[in-house]
Homo-oligomer: A and B are copies of this chain.
Amino acid sequence: MDDRAEHPFIELIRHRGSVERFDPRGALDESQIREIVADTVEAPSSFNIQHWRFVAVRRAEDKERLRRAAFGQRQVSEAAVTFIILGDLLGVEKLSEAMNAAVKQGALARNKADSWIRQAERIYADGRQARDEAFRSCSLAAMTMMLAAEARGLGSCPLSGFDPKQVKREFGIGDRFEPVMLLAVGIPLEEETARKPRFDVDQVLSFDRSRF
């Protein structure tokens, strides 16, 4: 195992903090946003279903509408772009397509693909499991997106405080999608964010048996 300090990733996660104030004059063009999303979808998802969808909200009037649905939190409108990260509650329907692509690419054997499709269809027929998985997979993507932004010298702020019904209505989002998180990305006004302290490792870690 390499030393903790060696890989630049360690610096990245220690430097990342949720940005309070973005430079409202900052902007990102479509190609920059596409690059960030291309990195983001490298995250894993259950059965490679890729439950995530992203609405990149950039226009001032749209950001204002989104901000109102997020209890007025200013990061939503001051960031260059705020992503609505949507989870596909019926993502399993797209599984055959994704599996066929993996088989074709040689990344997966045909019989394994077929067995996965059967398993996944059984599991995600349960609406609660489908919703849980959308939350899991979309959050894995959200973390990757924060780090992809940080790696480009940008800042980010994840927001889970919003009215999902209002977000869906305002942005014309279909019933099969659930807004899991908002993620503001842009140019931070301050060089360093005030990082909040964390519990000690021994307060959150237990070996072999649970203390929790």
How distant is A39 from chain B, measured CB to nearest CB, in Å?
6
Q: Establish whether residues B16 and A53, one from each chain, have CB atoms under 8 Å apart when the complex forms.
A: no
User: What is the CA–CA distance of A152 and B171 in the complex, to the nearest angstrom?
Assistant: 41
Which B residues are in CB contact (< 8 Å) with A160? 46, 132-133, 136
Q: How large is the interface on A (under 10, 10 to 19, 20 to 34, 35 or more residues)?
A: 35 or more
Interface of A is mostly: mixed
Contact of A174 among B1, B14, B143, B212 (CB under 8 A): B212
**Does A75 reach chain B (CB closer than 8 Å)?**
no
Which residues of the other chain, B, contact A158 by a CB distance below 8 angstroms? 44, 140
Does A25 belong to the interface (CB within 8 Å)? no
**Other-chain residue from B41, B171, B199 in contact with A204 (beta carbon distance below 8 A):** B41
A165 at the interface (CB under 8 A from B): no
Query: Are B101 and A197 in contact (CB-based, < 8 A)?
Result: yes
Contact of A7 among B143, B152, B181 (CB under 8 A): B152
Map CB proximity to B onto A154-175 as digits: 1 under 8 Å, 0 otherwise.
1000101100000000011110
**CA distance in complex: A54, B105 (Å):** 36
Q: Which residues of B have CB within 8 Å of A54?
A: 204-206
Instruction: Supply 16 further A-B pairs (C-beta < 8 A) apart from A53-B205, A86-B210.
Output: A16-B42, A37-B204, A55-B206, A56-B205, A58-B207, A101-B197, A105-B196, A107-B196, A107-B197, A108-B196, A119-B161, A132-B135, A135-B136, A135-B139, A136-B180, A171-B209
What would 6 A/B residue contacts be, using CB atoms closer than 8 Å?
A8-B8, A41-B198, A50-B204, A105-B197, A135-B135, A140-B140
